[in-house]
Amino acid sequence: MAYYALGDSISIDDYAGGPGLGAASLLADDFGIDLTLLARDGATSDDVVRSQLDKIEGRPALITLTMGGNDLLTTLFSPAKLGLPPDLDAAQRTVAQVAANYAIAMPALVATGAKLVLSTVYDPTDGTGDLSWVGLPAWEGGLRVLASLNDVIRDAAARHGTAVADLHAAFLGHGAKAGDVTAADPRPDNRDLWLCGHIEPNAWGAEAVRDAWRAALRA
């Protein structure tokens, strides 16, 4: 049986400690199926639609998708490079673009006949909106934008009758409130800390993503 993992760094091995340790790899091992990891570090929803979607072959048994977080991050950091505050209007336009890309991707994914799991986007600030640890001020309205993005993802799942793993809910309390998310350690002693390198899932985060996917499939 074939399993395709599409999307961004939430799905990959790199930050969890190496090959076989990321969320998609763990899920493939659990189910004993063959993984094709199309997800890439830094991938946006445009990348998924343009560069990953057409690489699915045949009739896979399972597809997971992590998409949308990097779109929002790009919109957040672009003005910062110019010394400007985050642009809330631009962020809302980004959410609309992600919604458009889900509208493109979902019919193609559903047509494969695979079991499909979408994933909400987690909040590394743990609900505070405090971005001081990346050198930025609190983003006024940022949490509302993230909520809008996750509504897009849940709506896409509901429209097409597919499962959704609520990573946003699962990761609350395991980001900036749990410890130093800027550290690079993939396996920190603090197992309540699920992020490393600012926003990436470490080994414990990868296990949590895998668990959320499994729970969504069972539901």
Task: Give me the CATH topology for the region 2-172+203-218.
Answer: Rossmann fold (3.40.50)
Q: Which residues contact 130 (CB under 8 A, 6 or more apart)?
A: 138, 176
**How much is the pLDDT for 79?**
61
CA distance linking residue 37 with residue 66, whole number of Å? 12
16, 23 Cβ separation under 8 angstroms:
yes
**How much is the pLDDT for 138?**
63
Q: How far is CA 150 from CA 31, 44, 64, 142, 143, in A?
A: 27, 15, 16, 13, 11
For the chain (length 219 residues), average pLDDT per consecutive 10?
A: 98 98 98 98 98 97 97 78 70 95 98 98 91 67 91 98 98 95 96 95 98 97
CA distance linking residue 21 with residue 165, whole number of Å? 19
Looking at residue 159, its amino acid is R
**How much is the pLDDT for 90?**
87
**How much is the pLDDT for 135?**
63
* Domain residue limits, the chain: 2-172+203-218
> Pairing between strand 115-119 and 62-66?
parallel
For residue 175, what are its two tokens?
A: 């980001």
**How much is the pLDDT for 195?**
97
